[in-house]
Every structure is written in C-alpha cells, then in structure tokens.
C-alpha cells in the first residue's frame, strides 16, 4: 500500500485531503508543523509527500530541501495558498515534482498524486532489496520485515544499519564505521545507541536473542553479521 505524508497546518484541509486519500486506498500520515514532519519523515517510509508552503516553524520549501538532501526519488507535491508563478518556480527549484494552488479541485489533486506515484515506480528488479536469512525476510525498499515475532516495519535508521551489515556480512564492522555510514553528519549518537539497535535486531530476528546466531558483538571493536 502506498504511504503518503501530508504536511498542512490548516486542520480542515488536512482532514479533507486525508479522508479522500484514504477512500482511494492510500495510507496517510499527517503532520501540522515542519519539524514534526521532518521527524516523521526520517523515521518512516513514504511513497509521496504533500507539502503546504506556509507552515509554522519551517516552511514547505525548507522541508522539501531537507527531504531532498537524503532522498532524491520520493515524489513531492507542493500546495500553496497563492497562485503565484514565483512560488511555483521556487518550489520546483527546491526539488518539488508538482505544484497545486489552493483552492484546488480534489479530483485534480488525486489525479496528480496517481501520476506522480506511477512515474516513480521502481524500474529495477524488486528482489534486489530483499534479504532472507533463516526464517527472516527483510525488504530494504519498503522496510517491511518478517522476523521471529511476525511482520513489522523497520525504521529508516534500522534499515540503513541492516543494509550496511548485509553489504559487509561476515566482516567485523566498527562502531565508528557504522556511525559514519548510518548517522553521517547528524549529531553523533553514543555507541550505546548502536548497541540498542543490535539488541532490537536480535529480538526481531534471533530465535534466542541471548545466544545470537546472526548478530554478533565483537568486544571492543564492533559487530559482525554472520551469514552462510
Ligand atoms: Ca498553511
């Protein structure tokens, strides 16, 4: 199911769009403020984002710019109260894919969303991002996973860390390398944070989290994902 993030501070418009998208079968997550929107965006997986321009704290242009720093492919549709060419050009420059001026026709909004989603369909083979080990299955594109407790959805950081461990399976990966790859220039978390991620992975994917078969800690160095 397609997941759409809608960022709009006017509750009545937000609810209206949400309701209509849900009727069309989309899963919708709402945010009313910029910072909240970025936090949600970084923690979850979305197929499309709808951004209002005039928002408290951080405006839609800035959100768009922040999203594009790490994600060049997600379709972004911007909404504006003013039908100004200047706004439109500015939005497209910041990386938006489409632009709709308020008040808009709901049918038009839905059609544009459909078009954007079709255009962004992955061209490459889908199973490139699917990893299986034991009875576990992880889709690094959709973040959907099946572990010892059943189906669940990974967070963005969990998926990034798993991807790194898969790419370097059976090698020791240092905490420093993990910090650089997964957290980049963000505020560095403590190494304790990484330990907690590994503890979560054991809970998700190990038959006995106390005796890990896959996710090993190498004392004083880092971690190793052991796969046959
Ligand atoms: Ca607004």
Instruction: For residue 29, report the distance from its CA to the centre of ligand 1, in Å.
Output: 17
pLDDT at residue 69 above 90?
no
Instruction: For residue 186, report the distance from its CA to the centre of ligand 1, in Å.
Output: 28
Asked if residue 105 and residue 11 are part of one domain, the reply reads yes
Tell me if the bond preceding 115 is cis, omega within 30° of 0: no
CATH number of domain containing 19? 3.40.50.2300
pLDDT of residue 70: 80
pTM of the predicted model as reported, rounded to 2 decimal places = 0.57
Asked if residue 189 and residue 149 are part of one domain, the reply reads yes
- pLDDT bin (cut points 50, 70, 90) of residue 73 is confident
Could you say which DSSP state residue 96 is in?
-
Domain span including residue 83 = 3-124
Query: How many structural domains is the chain composed of?
Result: 2
Asked if residue 134 and residue 118 are part of one domain, the reply reads no
Asked if residue 111 and residue 196 are part of one domain, the reply reads no
Domain end, chosen from 89, 124, 159, is at 124
For residues 68 and 61, the answer to whether their CB atoms sit within 8 Å is no
Instruction: Compute CA 186 distance to the chain's CA centroid, rounded to the nearest angstrom.
Output: 16
Q: pLDDT for 198-210, tens place per residue?
A: 999 999 999 999 9
**What percent of the chain has a predicted confidence (pLDDT) above 90?**
62
**What percent of the chain has a predicted confidence (pLDDT) above 70?**
93
Instruction: For residue 7, report the distance from its CA to the centre of ligand 1, in Å.
Output: 9
The secondary element (H helix, E strand) that includes residue 106 is helix 106-119
Distance CA 20, CA 192 (A): 43
Q: pLDDT for 17-48, tens place per residue?
A: 999 999 999 999 999 999 999 999 988 889 99
Asked if residue 136 and residue 203 are part of one domain, the reply reads yes
CB atoms within 5 A of ion ligand 1 belong to: 9, 52, 54
Q: pLDDT for 120-138, tens place per residue?
A: 776 544 456 888 999 999 9
CATH number of domain containing 149? 1.10.10.10
Q: Phi/psi at 68 (nearest 5 deg)? A: -70, -20
């Amino acid at each position: 199911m397609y997941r759409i993030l809608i960022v709009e501070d006017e509750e009545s418009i937000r609810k209206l769009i949400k309701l209509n998208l849900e009727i069309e079968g989309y899963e919708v997550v709402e945010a009313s403020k910029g910072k909240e929107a970025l936090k949600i965006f970084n923690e979850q997986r979305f197929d499309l984002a709808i951004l209002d321009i005039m928002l408290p704290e951080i405006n839609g242009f800035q959100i768009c710019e922040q999203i594009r720093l790490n994600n060049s492919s997600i379709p972004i549709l911007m909404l504006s109260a003013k039908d100004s060419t200047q706004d439109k050009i500015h939005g497209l420059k910041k990386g938006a894919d489409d632009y709709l001026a308020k008040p808009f026709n709901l049918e038009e909004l839905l059609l544009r969303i459909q078009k954007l989603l079709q255009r962004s369909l992955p061209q490459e083979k889908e199973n490139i991002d699917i990893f299986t080990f034991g009875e576990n299955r992880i889709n690094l594109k959709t973040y959907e996973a099946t572990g010892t407790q059943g189906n669940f959805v990974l967070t963005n950081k969990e998926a990034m860390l798993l991807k790194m461990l898969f790419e370097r399976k059976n090698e020791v990966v240092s905490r420093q390398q993990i910090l650089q790859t997964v957290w980049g220039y963000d505020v560095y978390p403590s190494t304790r944070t990484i330990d907690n991620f590994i503890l979560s992975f054991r809970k998700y994917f190990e038959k006995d989290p106390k005796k890990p078969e896959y996710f090993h800690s190498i004392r004083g160095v880092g971690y190793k994902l052991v796969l046959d």
